[in-house]
Every structure is written in C-alpha cells, then in structure tokens.
Amino acid sequence: MRACRLGTDGLCGGCLRSGAEIAQWTRLDAATRRRMMETVLAGRERERYRFLDQLQERQALRGVLHPLPRPPAGEGWNRSELDDLLPPAPLAEAAVLVGLVPRAGSGTQVLLTLRTDTLRHHGGQVSFPGGRVEPQDAGVLAAALRESREEIALCDRQVAPLGYLDPFLTISGFRVTPVVAAVDPDYVPRPEPGEVAAVFEVPLDYLMSAAHLRQVEIDYGGRPRSVLEYDWPGQRIWGATAAILYNLRRRLEAGP
C-alpha cells in the first residue's frame, strides 16, 4: 500500500520527497538515500515544519517509530487477545492520527477528540481523529491526514508526520495503523459536528506514566474482557485509544 501523495507544491505530505525522488528511491544505494534524508529532506522539513523544533520528544520518537516510507505490515500487536472476538469477515484498514502538540510552558500535549453519540462505531467515546482507509487514499498516512482535515479541520501544513506505531485490531473489525505526528501549536480546532463533539488535549507525560493506566473488566458478548483505561478527570480514555497510547509508551521505554 503506497504511503505517498503529492501536494500542490509537488512534494509528498509525509516524506517531503518529489515525484521524481520517489520514483528513483529504490534504485539509490543506502548511502545516497541517507545523505538525501540528512540534507535535502531534513532541510525541507525544517522549512515547512518549523514547529517541529519545539517538540522535545522528536529524536526519541524518530528512533522507535516505524519509518514513514514503510508502514508496518502484519497483524495487530493485540491479535492474540481477540482470537474469539473478531468478526468472520476480513478486517477493514483504518488509520488514526496521534497528534502531539508542543506547548511552551506546559510541555507536549496529545490531541484527542470526543466522538458524537450518534456515530455507528464508538459513539460518545474519546478517540484520535481518523477512520477507514478509502479507495482514493494513497495508504494509511493519506487516510489519517484526510480524516483529520474532515473531522477537526487540521490542514496538512500544520501536521508533521513522524512515523507509525504498531497496527492495532478492534473488535469492530478494523486493523488500525496509528500515525504519530507533531501538530502546530497555532492550530485552532474546528470540529465537524456530525462526527466530533469536542477536541481537547492531555499532557503526554501524564499518558506515558504507568501510574495513570489501569486494567478494567467489561462484559462483551456475555463474557468478561480486560481493557485499558486512563484515570483522566472529566473524560474516559479507554479501549483502543488507551491501548494505542500504551503501545507508544512501551516503544519509548524499549528505545531504539
């Protein structure tokens, strides 16, 4: 599945390569690719995403995320937990945006949404912006960016993708690929009322602390199931959203 889509400036919104550079990328030797990444692409990134310099966790994230040109393959990391819960039909591909907002004085914040009660899937729950990968999407990165534009009016120039977390499977039948990205602190949310009831932020440090995450038992299909939940005042952050954040914490703790 392709991850690149060229914008109006002729560059991919994710990796910042031009069409010609993408076409010849696999024919370049490793040393040439590395030089391009460290010079040409790094320069483009600095020019477009100046707010990236404010993200304190940038280098740590770069070392533990799946790289943008290669979305992670294979089953979700939680596959063994869902052996008798997944629907018989093939899983649908989906993507979400794990947006990290560097705030001066208050540190990095995680951008979250509260879904409207009327949605078919996960209505009334806290989630990341995102949704199903549609046929017109050039992969999971394009889907996450498109859904973020549609749901909360986050334009491409205010989001700098950094890489991917491991895919996560949901009992509703989706294979979700989380895209981790820095978000411009000047971004002003404009939620789509048919999908998003509210947009809010939670400190990354809070969500990366094991002391704030717990396991709770719920009843699903007449049998008990253990899910993750954060003890955050005012909102219940649980289920897939909590599990994705746990995966981020686990990767950061393990390091490169």
Q: Find all residues with CB under 8 Å of 90, minimum gap 6, and list them.
A: none
Percentage of the chain modeled with pLDDT above 90: 65
Please state, for a pLDDT cut of 70, what percent of the chain lies above it: 94
> Residue 152: which of 94, 206, 99, 205 has the closest Cα?
99
Q: Which of 33-37, 46-50, 69-73, 164-168 has the lowest mean pLDDT?
A: 46-50
Structure confidence at residue 120 (pLDDT): 62
Phi, psi of 144 (to 5 degrees): -65, -40
Using the predicted structure, report yes or no on whether residue 53 has a pLDDT greater than 80: yes
What average pLDDT does this structure show over 11-15?
78
The answer to whether the predicted template modeling score (pTM) of the entire model surpasses 0.75 is: yes
SS3 category, 251: helix
- Across residues 166-176, what is the average pLDDT? 90
The H or E element containing residue 254 is helix 239-254
The pLDDT of 38-66, averaged and rounded, is: 90
The reported pLDDT for the residue numbered 122 is: 57
Kindly tell me the burial class for residue 180, based on how many C-beta atoms sit within 10 Å of its own C-beta (0-12, 13-18, 19 or more). buried
Query: pLDDT for 95-129, tens place per residue?
Result: 999 999 999 999 999 999 999 877 665 567 899 99
The tokens for 170 are 């949901």
- pLDDT tens digits for 197-236? 999 999 999 999 999 999 888 776 667 778 899 988 889 9
| Mean pLDDT, residues 6-29 taken together | 85
How far apart CA 21 and CA 38 sit, in angstroms, is 15
Question: Given this model, what pLDDT does residue 221 score?
Answer: 65
Give phi and psi for 112, each to the nearest 5. Answer: -130, 160
| Predicted pLDDT at 58 | 94
Q: Are strands 107-115 and 196-203 parallel, antiparallel or unpaired?
A: antiparallel
pLDDT of residue 1: 39
- pLDDT-derived band of residue 45, with 50, 70 and 90 as boundaries? confident
What is the structure's pLDDT at 178? 98
Q: CB-hemisphere CA count at 13 Å for 247?
A: 23
Q: Answer yes or no: is pLDDT of 169 > 60.
A: yes
